[in-house]
Homo-oligomer: A and B are copies of this chain.
Amino acid sequence: MSETTERRVRQAAIELFATRGFHGTGIRDLAEAAGLSSATLYHYMGTKEDLLASIMRVSLERVLDNAARLLADVTSPVERIARLIALHVMTHAEQKLETRVVDGEIRALSESRRPEIVALRDQYEDLWQDAIDTGCREGLLRTSAPRVARLALLEMCSGISHWYSADGPLKLDDLAAHYIEMALGALGANCSIESVHSVVIDVQAVTRAP
Contacts and interface: CB of A to CB of B under 8 A. Distances in A.
A21 B108 contact: yes
A182 B151 contact: no
A56 interface: no
A91 interface: no
A182 B153 CA distance: 9
A17 to B, nearest CB: 11
Given A107-B19, A154-B159, A156-B153, A175 B188 contact: no
A20 interface: yes
B19 A148 contact: no
Chain A to chain B: the 4 pairs with minimum beta-carbon distance, closest first: A155-B159, A23-B23, A156-B156, A182-B186
28 contacts: A20-B107, A21-B21, A21-B23, A22-B24, A24-B108, A104-B104, A143-B178, A144-B174, A144-B181, A145-B174, A145-B175, A148-B178, A148-B179, A151-B160, A152-B156, A152-B157, A152-B159, A152-B160, A152-B179, A152-B182, A155-B158, A155-B162, A156-B156, A156-B159, A156-B186, A181-B186, A182-B187, A185-B187
